[in-house]
Amino acid sequence: MNGDGWFRDMRYALRQLARAPAFTAVAVLTLSLLLFLAAGFFYRQPVISIVLSIFIGAVIPDLWLRRAIIRRQEAIQFALPDAMDLAVIAVEAGLGLDQALMRVGDEIITAHPALADELRLRNLEVNMGRSRSDALRNLAERTGVEDLKALIAILIQTDKFGTSVGQALRTFSESLRVKRRQRAEEQAAKLAIKMVVPMVLFIFPGVFIVIVGPAFIAIIRDLLPTLSGN
């Protein structure tokens, strides 16, 4: 690895290590802010204010973190077919698996930054002396994406038995595209059910007012005076 690549990987590793203290700092600041606000609103009941602040201060950052994990996993899962297509091209062009994954990580960093970050971290582990199999297993464990775990298992078996990496990647890429199309069709099928609540709350009242409103106004204007004898 050249000097620029080593410096870039080290800078990326340091940035990743800084994320955990940043999350802890956000959690502490949230808890402190809630304690301050609770002390102002519930100054006569300090025990309740402390309990509520600790509970909310512990729950909000955890919920945010879980949501961020789910979004990152979805982004990685969505990016896998495109990344595997690039990996197939790189492997069939003559690159080894490590070099192909490194190339893929550099190419998709704009379109799919989450998967690019994970591939760069895997390459960094390999460059630091970790074996390819261990780095791949760490990648699967770190992301928690089932499709990626299946891919890692295939790559480890391919490396172990010496079978064609390009053919394995091509077959897996085709299966990933089929799965992604099936997920899109499933989301499209759920769209009609999800639209029921917005239609009932926002669209139907407006349509009802437009259709029934003129008739209601005509009844008030014409029928009520007749009934009253005027």
Model confidence at 8, in pLDDT bands (50, 70, 90)? low
More confident site: 1 or 201: 201
Q: What is the pLDDT of residues 159-209, one digit of tens each?
A: 788 777 888 888 888 888 888 888 888 888 888 888 888 888 888 888 888
Higher-confidence position of 58 and 89: 89
Residue 60 has pLDDT above 70, yes or no: yes
What pLDDT, on a 0 to 100 scale, did the predictor assign at position 222? 73
| pLDDT value at 4 more than 60 | no
Q: What is the pLDDT of residue 110?
A: 87
**pTM of the predicted model as reported, rounded to 2 decimal places:** 0.67
Per the model's pLDDT, the better-predicted residue between 82 and 19 turns out to be: 82
More confidently predicted of 142 and 21? 142
pLDDT for the residue 3: 47
Give me the mean pLDDT over the 94-115 stretch.
87
Burial of 140 (0-12, 13-18, 19+ CB in 10 A): buried
| C-alpha–C-alpha distance, residues 2 and 10, integer Å | 12
